[in-house]
Amino acid sequence: MTQSPPHALLRPGIAVPFVLTAIIWGSTWYVIRGQIDGVPAQWSIAYRFAIAAPAMFALALLMKKPLAMPGRAHGLALAMGLFQFCGNYTFVYASEAHLTSGVVALLVGMMFVPNALLARALLGQAVTARFLFGSMIALAGIGVLLVNEARVAPLGGNVALGTALALGGMLSASIANVVQAGPAGRDVPLVSLLAWAILYGTGIDVAAAWLVAGPPVVPTEPAYWLGTVWLAIAGTVVTFPLYYQLVRELGAGRAAYNGVLVVVIAMAISTVLEGYRWSALAIAGALLATLGMIVALRARQVPVPPQE
């Protein structure tokens, strides 16, 4: 295998899914607001993935990928279902009871830090000095944005608990990001692995929802179900195969910079749809975070083992 060029993000095969995933996930922060109004968050999560699971199986069949997997791949899928498709979203939705969605998005956007550390520990992926320098710039930008969000939309509820929940969601997603790129995940088609992971995650979500919120609450508003379908199809079936492939090609740390772009796009969407006003702090933070992302992504590509 020939080594990828140093600036892999410039390749269309990397740039297009990187930007497309960020645009879609940037929109989901706005859509999620309508999913937790009057409906227990845990049931909204279960409905989302109950729709996404058969759609991902259909995608695997359409792509003519085998659905049969060895036992260790099913074990991995179960772990992904627990951490990515249950833990991540459960923590994130719960955190929004204490923090504004903008602050939660910013905290989750720091996922490039645990991704890089876990990838180094579990996959042996090196962390370059340039990546660290870019990460420091990006973290400074996120810090400025957090200060701005706290001023614009004063935090309510238990801020410490909300922060802990958001960071718990970020760490849950980070674990799933990294482990799927290991040998057990590379032995099977990515869409097949994701189909089983979402199915297992849906089962865990339903059980958790019943325990936490009681019997299902089924809303009748068309807007709720349109939002759920968008989150399930665009926000899950379209994006997760693209993003997890980026993790495998770019490395977990670099791919997670997608989250920084997601935050900027979410703020842009809020500007158009919710009248968000950009202060000098917000502009400075967004520019710093974007600059850090560019510096880190232009760090020399560390070879990643090819997918079978």
Question: pTM here?
Answer: 0.85
Q: Check residue 121 and give its pLDDT.
A: 85
Identify whether the C-beta of residue 18 lies closer than 8 Å to the C-beta of residue 246.
yes
Q: Does the structure show a pLDDT above 50 at 2?
A: no
**CB-count exposure of residue 96 (10 Å: 0-12, 13-18, 19+):** buried
Task: Kindly report the average pLDDT of the chain as a whole number.
Answer: 85
Selection from 104, 101, 108, 106 nearest residue 37 by Cα: 101
Q: How would you write 206-221 as a 3-class SS string?
A: HHHHHHHHCCCCCCCC
Helix (H, G, I), strand (E, B) or coil at 99: coil
Task: Tell me the C-alpha distance between 122 and 99, whole Å.
Answer: 32
210-244 pLDDT per residue, tens: 999 999 999 989 989 999 999 999 999 999 999 99
Tell me the range of 70-84, 162-176, 271-285 where mean pLDDT is highest: 70-84
Two tokens, residue 56 = 């991902």
Name the residue with higher pLDDT: 56 or 166.
56
pLDDT for residue 177 is more than 50? yes
What does the pLDDT look like over 187-210, one tens digit per residue?
999 999 999 999 999 999 999 999
Packing angle between helix 159-179 and helix 239-250, nearest 10 degrees? Answer: 70
Task: Give CA–CA dist 8/299, Å, rounded.
Answer: 9
**Local confidence band at 4 (pLDDT 50, 70, 90 cut-offs):** very low
Rounded average pLDDT over 18-27: 91
Nearest C-alpha neighbor of 203 from the set 80, 37, 60: 80
Asked whether residue 299 carries a pLDDT value surpassing 90, the answer given is no
With a cut of 80, say whether residue 251 has pLDDT above it.
yes
